[in-house]
Structure 1
Amino acid sequence: MTLKIKQKIPLKIKKIGINGEGVGNFKGTTVFVTGALKGEDVYAEITSLAPNFATAKVLKLNKKSPHRVVPMCEIYKQCGGCQIMHLAYPQQLLFKQDLLRQALKKFRPEGFETYEVRKTIGMKNPEHYRAKLQFQTRFLGEKVRAGLFAENSHRLVEIKNCLAQDETTQAIITEITELLTFHRIPIYNERKFDGIRTVMVRRAHQTGQVQIIFISSERVELTRTIASLTEKFPEIKTVALNINRKNTSEIYSNTSETEILWGERAILEGVLDYTFELSPRAFYQLNPEQTNTLYTEAVKAMDARLDDDLIDAYSGTGTIGRAFLGKVRSIRGMDVIPESIDDARVNVPGGIYEVGTAESLIPQWVADGFKATALIVDPPRTGLDDKLLDTIVATKPAKMVYVSCNVSTLARDLVKLAQVYDVKYIQSVDMFPHTARTEAVVKLVRK
């Protein structure tokens, strides 16, 4: 590699990469350029070097893409939460379809060239779609501020009007910062390591009910703060506290239960034609509107029968499993978060839900005489555990639906799954407008 740090180069951008950056080639070296778009000619400065690639920033746009737009957010560049807001929304949907193709080409599961990758299903109004926020708190300039860390740093970017965030949750977090300042509540500091470090606010799309978790490195007195907050926002139904004393990037402590300080154990949310309970720590999709689309596609892909026995792996609160109630003979599921399983047992009447991992429970169920004919998985961004993949290949349920939030780990997992399943199609769903992420529903049928 002949490139050097701070070297200035002309570059033609050939595509948009999986993190939303422009990708070009300079004398045989791949260069990733933040903020550049496919089809643009840029004059760029090299910012870092690696053995097989370089990164750069745009100094000048010599030729602009016709699909470039001015980002609506005033802190777009500082925040980094949205990577492609400078790309017109219809083109974002095409890019997310291409994301899947890029990942498949990289990992090359059997027959990937002929997979049907369907057009991304987008939103009519792709703003204010996030129903849950997790903002860091810091005491800066004599005031508590909340927001996100700038990319690759612990420098807080205060967020007062996020265009991706539900407007009610944004208003509540803004009020929380005012109350924490007024009541002099201890705020986490990386040197002193004490006080509130993160606040989670979630609003149910269907009912409007709100729950809050304060994550703190020590127990704090929040009685007056909660009283003022709930008086101003009567839609708040739950306020909880999670103590996390670890000096790590993990948001929650998994060693202590989340304590309800005020209100109900859970809020009510709805999707498709049913409602369900959500406790504060339980996982649920960030974009409730598109969750209806996602679950509709998952049900369609499964093509369930009344004699099917379904496993709902990575079940969370059982929201996907609930969609199959009355469509299959039996439902079993699992999750590692006990509170989620408590919710699932309420949300899926007649279902069997247990705390544990899929890779440990499924073999146990098989040994006990239960064998699934249908399997749905909705794993975290890390994808399926290797042991679970081996278990799936060994037990071979007749049909499977893979719901993925990470195109790379999906394509990686399909390498093994394609040994025993035909990939009928992949349906992309835009759960995260203006970001370089997409959700996908994959229909698999045993060979």
Structure 2
Amino acid sequence: KKKPVFVEGGMPDEVVDAELTEEHDTYCVAEIKKVIEASPRRRRPMCAITKECGGCPLMHADMKGQLRMKSSVLKEALKKYAGYSGAILPIIKNPDVLAYRNACKLRFFNKDNEIICGLYEKDSNKVVKMERCIIHDKDLERVRVQIVQILNAHNAKAFTKKEECGYRSLVMKSFDHKVQVILVTSRMRIEKNMIEEIMEIDGVVSLWQSIKSQDESELDVFGKRMVHLAGLEKMEVKVCGLDLALLPRSFFQLNTRQAENVYSVVRDWTPKCRTVVEAYCGIGAMALLAASKARKVIGIESIEDAVINARENAKKNNIGNVRFICGDAGEELIQISEKKKIDTLIVDPPRSGLDEKMKEAIIDARVRTIIYVSCNPSTLAKDLGFLKAQYAIKKVQPVDMFSQTPHVETVVLLERKEPERRQKN
């Protein structure tokens, strides 16, 4: 049986000597031992730890090569899972291919009697110490280094299961040279003078502590308890003319400039109609932008902090025809569609795509227009494959949101197919 072989670090049109490292039922993985004939698009990675870190697996390709690979992955996924071989609009290039990432979540570790900040090496428990990340916003990196210095000056220790006390993670957001810092810790008190020193770092305007007990899930970086330590409670970002506020748990796209391009596409593709629903709406940016196209807009989001922000953002921007609901996307969509006709549905689900309840809710709601925003071509294409019996793909717009990585943001416009008319005898 023929199976595809994924050659890590390989590029199209190259000749390589590779060795199989993994064999699965439907695919294999191979490791390059030697590049025999290199692609003209291959380059030397700009980061010294790119192989160990694994966070930027396309850094060995120049930008033209990266965009070609991303476009190819999207094209093949749409063809394989959704049976779509139509046109795909040219990918919107990232104006900042380095230092674009406005947020980070990093682990604290103990090493050589010091606390360090870094990542796990790919597929291992080995720690990769990060001297500098070149895709992080420069303010994030500068603040990160100074926070680690302050922690070490106070003899701080990273959390371990053995000690059960210490610092777990460092989470930061940066907008317009203003940085929010969230220290995720065990049940402990952070010294007052340490708080003051962190707030003295140039650009730091907000400091929070997230307290996470040992029995809480590792799937969520944050603990259940959030404590505001100093500075601003919320961060502010301006996008597409909107003034938006974010609490620590609220999600925002990791690339601010490309987020504007995605939001602009969604706004432009939203038809004038009576009712728009945005599922997985976060802090409400796309719902608020769609408000000019509809009489009524409803946003659905499961994270309570994000819903609080979304409601405040509607007031802040004087937009009165939008309301936000906290709940499960599929369940809420069912309830809304039972009460009123939904003309347009905007969805921006997590990487795992739409769950079964949401897919069935979409079919039952008989929405005329769907705008699907995705960061995962595979799950996007599989969901479109499920919807294709009733919906036709009209436009596909890829956006290079995450340069140096294989991820590609994609906006897809779908329209409900007209039922076939019965011919008279």
TM-score w.r.t. the length of structure 1 is 0.88
Deviations 1:5-34 (A, max 9, x none): xxxxxxxxxxxxxxxxxxxxxxx5543222
1:223 and 2:192 aligned: yes
Aligned-pair CA distance for 1:50: 2.8
Deviations 1:79-129 (A, max 9, x none): 10001111110121121111112212332x2x512x322221112331100
Further displaced range: 130-139 or 95-104: 95-104
| Match 2:244 to one of 263, 266, 276 | 276
1:331 and 2:297 aligned: yes
Aligned equivalent of 2:5:
31
Using a 3 Å threshold, how does the CA distance of structure 1 residues 148 and 317 change in structure 2: closer, same or farther? same
Distance 2:20 2:337 in 1: 55
SS where residue 248 of structure 2 aligns?
A: coil
Using a 3 Å threshold, how does the CA distance of structure 1 residues 327 and 105 change in structure 2: closer, same or farther? closer
Amino acid at match of 1:320: M
4+ residue runs of structure 1 moved beyond 4 angstroms? none
1:322 and 2:292 aligned: no
When the two chains are superposed, the root-mean-square deviation of aligned CA atoms in Å is 1.7
Count of matched residue positions in the alignment of Structure 1 and Structure 2: 411
Aligned equivalent of 1:300:
268
| Match 1:145 to one of 116, 122, 125 | 116
Alignment of 1:9-28 (within 5 A): 28=2
Distance 1:70 1:294 in 2: 30
Aligned equivalent of 1:413:
383
SS where residue 381 of structure 1 aligns?
A: coil
Further displaced range: 318-327 or 141-150: 318-327
Alignment of 1:36-185 (within 5 A): 36-107=10-81, 109=82, 111-113=83-85, 115-185=86-156
Amino acid at match of 1:272: C
Q: Percent identity?
A: 29
Aligned equivalent of 2:422:
none
Alignment of 1:217-256 (within 5 A): 217-233=186-202, 235-245=203-213, 246=215, 248-253=217-222, 256=224
Aligned equivalent of 1:395:
365
Amino acid at match of 1:228: E
Using a 3 Å threshold, how does the CA distance of structure 1 residues 191 and 248 change in structure 2: closer, same or farther? farther
SS where residue 259 of structure 1 aligns?
A: strand
Distance 1:30 1:402 in 2: 28
1:376 and 2:353 aligned: no
> Do the aligned partners of 2:139 and 2:177 also contact (CA within 8 Å) in 1?
no
Using a 3 Å threshold, how does the CA distance of structure 1 residues 67 and 134 change in structure 2: closer, same or farther? same
Distance 1:187 1:268 in 2: 30
1:288 and 2:256 aligned: yes
Distance 1:59 1:95 in 2: 21
Using a 3 Å threshold, how does the CA distance of structure 1 residues 30 and 445 change in structure 2: closer, same or farther? closer
Aligned-pair CA distance for 1:248: 4.9
Aligned-pair CA distance for 1:416: 2.0
Aligned-pair CA distance for 1:395: 0.8
Aligned equivalent of 2:278:
312
Distance 1:252 1:131 in 2: 17
Deviations 1:343-380 (A, max 9, x none): 0001124221111011111222233x233211101111
Aligned equivalent of 1:385:
355
Using a 3 Å threshold, how does the CA distance of structure 1 residues 247 and 398 change in structure 2: closer, same or farther? closer
Using a 3 Å threshold, how does the CA distance of structure 1 residues 327 and 158 change in structure 2: closer, same or farther? same
TM-score w.r.t. the length of structure 2 is 0.92
Distance 2:395 2:125 in 1: 41
SS where residue 413 of structure 2 aligns?
A: strand
Distance 2:300 2:342 in 1: 14
Distance 2:365 2:402 in 1: 34
**Unaligned residue ranges in structure 1 (runs of 5+):** 2-27
SS where residue 119 of structure 1 aligns?
A: coil
Distance 2:370 2:91 in 1: 21
> Do the aligned partners of 1:136 and 1:148 also contact (CA within 8 Å) in 2?
yes
Aligned equivalent of 1:11:
none
Deviations 1:382-407 (A, max 9, x none): 11121111111111222110000111
Aligned-pair CA distance for 1:52: 4.2
